[in-house]
Amino acid sequence: MRHFLDLHTLPPEELRGILTQAAAMKTARTGLPRGTVDDGAPFEGRMVALIFEKPSTRTRVSFDVGARQLGGQTLVLSGKDMQLGHGETIADTARVLSRYVDLIMIRTFEEQTLVELAAHSAVPVINGLTDASHPCQIMADILTFEEHRGPITGAKVVWAGDGNNVCTSFLHAAGQFGFDLTFTGPEVLDPNPDAVAFARGRGVTVTIERDPLKAAEGADLIVTDTWLSMHDPESARQRRHALLRPYQVNNALMAATGRETLFMHCLPAHRGEEATDTVMDGPHSVIFDEAENRLHAQKAIMRWCLRL
């Protein structure tokens, strides 16, 4: 069974193979209408379940379009549709869905929901996001970086802001792909220590630097994410703004790198908060390439899961 749950649980050569296939499939589609099915329709006759306990734009559209481009069909289910873990157990839901579909993608809150679903599923499960990690996003980010700058091995990536679930997956990727990562943000929002330990254990440098301008020196890529969750109360929003304002990605921070540094944001963004418009729309921003590459990376992930 090939589940795609977290980057640090898979062999690096498997991750590299997924990216190689993603790049090849993207090239093969150059100039084709979005609805054109990929050559050979590898998912013909296959059904993909897309479960969303959390709302989504990019994850929903990219997985839905991706499965269709591969020649398959999709079944989109919301948390309201399923009441996952409320009434019927997650284990029983996994057993039932496995009788109907060939592949399951889930975007959920608790990591344990993902783990339990995979443990009892008879078909592959993909982590579309949990509160703990976001591996599909980072596969798209690596694909995007390498399109613009070549191999990411040996590069310096700077994460600015909140050491959240996306940051955790970037740390996993640092260990797997061999690039250094500097985190700059308030201590109370430091990244997951287990993810830091994993990356360091794979021989890469992980640095915690409170001064954002110093952290940015020599960076090949600066990444940030939204400061706020849609579930945060107003009081929490005000505290987070006060904590994170010094770590905004702006022209001064980009200039402090001293080089032609790429900028990424997984979106959606609160423009003028975690990053300014001049950076997001600037010449070094690749945020929309990054968004597009969710489609190509996830198609390759789905094919890897089904060995196609």
The model's pLDDT over 117-145, given as tens digits with 9 standing for 90+, comes to 999 999 999 999 999 999 999 999 999 99
pLDDT of the residue at 232: 63
pLDDT of the residue at 86: 74
Q: Judge whether residue 230 has pLDDT over 60.
A: no
**In which element (H, E) is residue 242 found?**
helix 234-244
Helix axis angle, 135-149 relative to 287-305, nearest 10°?
Answer: 120
Which residue, among 88, 93, 95, 135, has the nearest Cα to 111 in the 3D structure?
Answer: 135
High-pLDDT (> 70) share of the chain, %:
97
Q: Of the residues 134, 240, 296, 303, which is catalytic? A: 134
pLDDT of the residue at 55: 84
The yes-or-no answer on residue 107 being catalytic is yes
Residue 49 binned pLDDT confidence (cut-offs 50, 70, 90)? very high
pLDDT of the residue at 124: 98
The yes-or-no answer on residue 134 being catalytic is yes
Tell the burial category of 131 from Cβ atoms under 10 Å away from its Cβ (0-12, 13-18, 19+).
middle
Distance CA 306, CA 68 (A): 15
Which residue, among 204, 132, 196, 202, has the nearest Cα to 164 in the 3D structure?
Answer: 132
Q: Judge whether residue 278 has pLDDT over 80.
A: yes
Q: Distance of alpha carbon 129 from its chain centroid, rounded? A: 7
> φ and ψ at 80, to 5 degrees?
-65, -35
Sign of the dihedral defined by the CA atoms of residues 266, 16, 121, 41, in that order: positive
The yes-or-no answer on residue 225 being catalytic is yes
Helical H segments across 31-164, by residue range: 58-69, 79-82, 90-97, 111-120, 135-149
For the segment 73-89, the average pLDDT, to the nearest whole number, is: 83
Distance CA 300, CA 139 (A): 10
For the segment 166-177, the average pLDDT, to the nearest whole number, is: 98
Distance CA 113, CA 53 (A): 10
Q: How many C-alpha atoms does 143 have within 13 Å on its Cβ side?
A: 33
* Residue 225: how many other CB atoms lie within 10 Å: 25
Q: Of the residues 6, 38, 64, 225, which is catalytic? A: 225
The yes-or-no answer on residue 38 being catalytic is no
pLDDT of the residue at 84: 77
Q: Judge whether residue 54 has pLDDT over 70.
A: yes
Residue 236 binned pLDDT confidence (cut-offs 50, 70, 90)? confident
Residue 220 binned pLDDT confidence (cut-offs 50, 70, 90)? very high
For the segment 267-290, the average pLDDT, to the nearest whole number, is: 97
Q: Judge whether residue 79 has pLDDT over 90.
A: no
Which residue, among 111, 305, 297, has the nearest Cα to 195 in the 3D structure?
Answer: 111
Q: Of the residues 58, 69, 172, 266, which is catalytic? A: 266
For the segment 243-268, the average pLDDT, to the nearest whole number, is: 97
pLDDT of the residue at 237: 77
For the segment 82-105, the average pLDDT, to the nearest whole number, is: 90
pLDDT of the residue at 85: 64
Q: Of the residues 172, 265, 294, 296, which is catalytic? A: 294
Q: Distance of alpha carbon 47 from its chain centroid, rounded? A: 23
Distance CA 185, CA 280 (A): 19
Distance CA 8, CA 135 (A): 9
Tell me which amino acid residue 92 is. D
> The whole model's pTM is what?
0.96
Residue 270 binned pLDDT confidence (cut-offs 50, 70, 90)? very high
Q: Of the residues 69, 137, 248, 298, which is catalytic? A: 137
Tell me which amino acid residue 188 is. V
The yes-or-no answer on residue 294 being catalytic is yes
